[in-house]
Amino acid sequence: MRITVICENTVGRRIGLGEHGFSALIETDQGNYLFDTGSGHSVVKNSLELNKDLRTIKKIFLSHGHYDHTGGLPEVLKLRGKVDVHAHPHVFLDRVHVIEENEKETKRFVGLPYKRKYLESLGANFIFNKNFIEVEKGVFLTGEVPRKTSFEKPDPVLFAEIDGKINQDVFSDDQSLILDTNKGLILVLGCAHSGMINIINYVIHKTGKEKFYAILGGTHLDFLTPEQLEESVKALKKTKIEKIGVCHCTGMRAAFRLHQEFGDRFFYGSVGSILEI
Ligand SMILES: [Fe+2]
Ligand SMILES: [Fe+2]
């Protein structure tokens, strides 16, 4: 099995294009899967440069409805044609990022930038899940993750509209992918808006397994206070993790902190990074 980072904020192997977003291609004996699609600028270009054929993908999984994980859907669908796209029903919520700059409030749309009908016309067959499910043999999606830790809080600048009301985005749709391998679980995160530790604890609870061969993807750790980050690091150190390949919304501060803690077991999951077992 091989997981290759196709889209990410940074370029690591002098190959491809960096963009704000995340996408990973998972190649297995039973088929290839695409987890997220980046924001749309690099998914096709990078897959070609990395010698990956997106026409081979069996299923697409969406971690949540942010543009930087879903914006590449049309480009992938134009190549692939009819394909199952697994996501939580809230993936289509209208979402905004609100920032205050120079005492002025700026709102930016950050939701999935395309209508469901348009994506379906390109071949997307949406299959929605809210619960933990096995989508293929040994391949699981978490569905909604219960928020249990006290230190993982929702990002205060992200909002969503539900039934005409704009509220802080609680990201019910945030889900992660799990591959059950003979070396342990591989957990692939989109943005970990549910909280990385909440996700890990839920995966342990649902699978009954606690050994992670690898954790890869966006952790959103940079949006926590230094104290919250330390709580997360403390919890990670108690978890059996062989390799940790963070990237995207992890941020440099948190990535450096994890490198310090995990040493050789740490890698940065930039474009072209490969995890092989
Ligand atoms: Fe993201
Ligand atoms: Fe996100």
Give the ligand whose atoms come closest to the C-alpha of residue 217.
Answer: 1
Query: What is the pLDDT, as a whole number, of residue 224?
Result: 81
Residue whose pair of structure tokens reads 């969406």 in the numeric block: 62
Distance 202 CA to ligand 2 centre (A): 19
- Distance CA(62)–CA(27), nearest Å, equals 17
Give 145 Cα–ligand 1 centroid separation in angstroms. Answer: 17
What is the Å distance from ligand 2's center to 182 Cα?
30
- Rounded distance from Cα 223 to ligand 2 centre (Å): 11
Ligand minimally distant from the alpha carbon of residue 174: 2
Q: Tokens at residue 239, please?
A: 């978890």
* Token code pair at residue 164: 């005409």
Distance CA 106, CA 261 (A): 37
Cα 187 to ligand 2 centroid, rounded to whole Å: 17
Q: Is 272 left (phi over 0), alpha (psi -120 to 50) or beta?
A: left
Q: Which ligand is nearest to the CA of 64?
A: 2
- Walking along the chain (277 residues) 10 residues at a time, the average pLDDT comes out as 98 93 98 98 98 98 98 98 98 94 90 98 98 97 97 92 90 98 98 98 98 98 88 97 97 96 98 96
How much distance in Å is there from the Cα of 27 to the middle of ligand 2?
24
pLDDT at position 102? 85
What is the Å distance from ligand 1's center to 213 Cα?
23
DSSP 3-state assignment of 144? coil
Q: Which residues of 43-69 are buried (b: 16+ CB within 10 A; e: fewer)?
A: bbebbebbebebeebbbbbbbbbbbbb
Ligand nearest to the CA of 171: 2
Q: The whole model's pTM is what?
A: 0.97
Residue with tokens 């310090």: 260
The single residue listed with the structure tokens 């928020």 is 147
Ligand nearest to the CA of 21: 1
Q: What is the pLDDT of residue 100?
A: 86
Tokens read off for 1:
């099995």
80 CA distance to ligand 1 middle (Å):
23
What six digits make up the tokens of 277?
């077992």
**Distances 101 to 110, 115, 156, 251 between C-alpha atoms, Å:** 18, 30, 15, 21
**Could you tell me the distance, in angstroms and rounded to a whole number, from the CA of residue 258 to the centre of ligand 2?**
20
What is residue 6's predicted lDDT score, i.e. its pLDDT?
98
Ligand closest to 193 (CA) is: 2
